[in-house]
Structure 1
Amino acid sequence: MNNNKMIYVIDDEKDICQMVSLELEQFGYSVRSFTTGAQACHAIRTRPPALCIIDLGLPDMDGMELVKQLCDKHSVGVMILSGRNSVPDKVLGLELGADDYIVKPFIPRELVARVNSLLRRLENSGPDPKTETRTAQFANLRYDPKTLTLITGDGKQSELSSAEHVLLIRLLKAPKTILSRDQLMGETTGPFDRSIDVRMSRVRKKIEQDPKNPEIIKTIYGVGYILTTDVSWTP
């Protein structure tokens, strides 16, 4: 059912790795588990998975640093699975680019449901043969969905995370149209409703001259967001 998608579970607790792996495998996923960040990084360079499930309390590195590395350098889904239940940790994880945040202890079946939802949402963001094989030009920017690369008028490049790509590509496909939060996020990945605000802030930092006073992506309070510019697609 899941086309044997690969998921990496990165947690220093072997019991957690085993429990999560067995649960996901029952639903058709291929799973590899790692107890250190270094092991996971080596495997990701060799074979990037569809999704990484990451504990923040790793023995050899800060889990947040691993989240940042994955979101900055790789096009993979990222789900944090952690015993840290504070709002600042959740906000930081999402600011770094994570797609979802689950707190321990957790119900294994709920984790699977949220994995399914997250992967469907990422799939639904592309590829679209009408757009994602082409480059979008808007304002003084170019965006290449194939490489998740944003290029400014002066040639500066930055790479979007998977979560940032989801938001931007949906806005690019519907310029000058107000899109609700549900339309932008697709299926809800969890109850932490600040996630879209955090991710939109990250996108704005990469495309706006003044992210605090955005001109390209504007907020329509109580409704959603709108991309204010025309968009053209070129080979």
Structure 2
Amino acid sequence: MKKREVLVTHHGRTVYGFFYEPDAKEYPLIIMSHGYNGHKSDFEISAEYFAENGIGTVCYTFCGGSVRDESSFSTTEMTLYTEEEDLCAVLDEVLTWKQVQKDRIFLFGGSQGGFVSAMAAADRREHVKGLILLYPALCIPDNWNTRFEKEEDIPSKLEFWGMELGNKFFRTLRGLDIHTYIRQFKQPVLIMHGDQDEIVPIEYGKNAAEEYAQGKLEVFTGEIHGFTENGNRRMEAMALYFVHDVIGIGRK
């Protein structure tokens, strides 16, 4: 397994990421998207695990999606739509790599990155073989639209969980219907969600699994928002099995 830096420039900004390359001539690939104020290193252990098991993996930082982001894109300019643009740009980049099996690309996202991955999977469904969501924050529009009932209630800026958000983030949530995206994606989906999650109620995971055409929910007993080390090891094994099952490895 080899690790190298990946830079993807689009819309006047640059996404910084890492590529974990398996020791194989060709391979499936997973694009891993971090959660709110996360970083490209958040899923590094999992990315190495997948690469060591023959699956290429790209981890990256959303532009403006983290105080540790290396791009010059401001956190106050970030929205779920700019993050989707980042993910789609990464997808376009890996589609140019000769070793990647183009019909075996998976999106993987945690929390807010799960929401963004669900959007991108629908909009780029012709290129996405399957979708893996960890405690996906599908509650984001509900939460903020409830807090700011009227558009004039939205502040120009707001510091939230250590990161400053701009007016655009909240305005673009008005009318954003995740169910529209869910209904458009017909490929297999694996959702893993802790039953003690106080940030994103597990009902969001349950409802999404039922609404997806091929959705499956794995409940992680005792896990909160962001899995423990043991939970992550279980998640990795389930995700690997999911990928193998979808692409037909191990079937007789």
Task: Name the TM tier (shorter chain).
Answer: 0.3 to 0.5
TM-score, structure 2 length as denominator?
0.39
Larger strand percent = 2
